[in-house]
Amino acid sequence: MRCCCRGALPLINTQALIDQLGAGSGSCVSSLGQGDASVLHSENPQTSDAVQTHLLRLVDDDSSFDEMVHALHSNPERVAAELLKLELEGLVVAQPGLRWRSL
């Protein structure tokens, strides 16, 4: 049975992913509004490939979402967007507790 038939909704943007994940246990809170293009810019800009490579290492180390944000010196929106890209590429899968697992 298809996921949408069982009540699942597609995540169509990073804000939907963040809303689905919830606030988490850390203190990373964004003051940026929905649809703000600046959410993809971090304090320490890196290329998407470099971020994804680092994220895959963090996933393999069983890091939490908050630990990933801290390790990447980034913001939660950017990390969520990169994790979503990795999920869509079939490289990781979300797990309970704001964690991911490599495939």
**Hey, where are the domains in the chain?**
47-103
Class of residue 42 by CB neighbours under 10 A (exposed 0-12, middle 13-18, buried 19+): middle
Helix (H, G, I), strand (E, B) or coil at 42: coil
Per-residue pLDDT at 39 exceeds 60 = no
pLDDT at residue 100, as a whole number: 94
CB 89 within 8 A of CB 55: no
CB 79 within 8 A of CB 42: no
Using CA atoms, how far apart are residues 34 and 30, in angstroms rounded to an integer? 10
Mean pLDDT calculated for residue range 73-86? 93
Model pTM score? 0.56
The CATH code belonging to domain 47-103 is 1.10.10.10
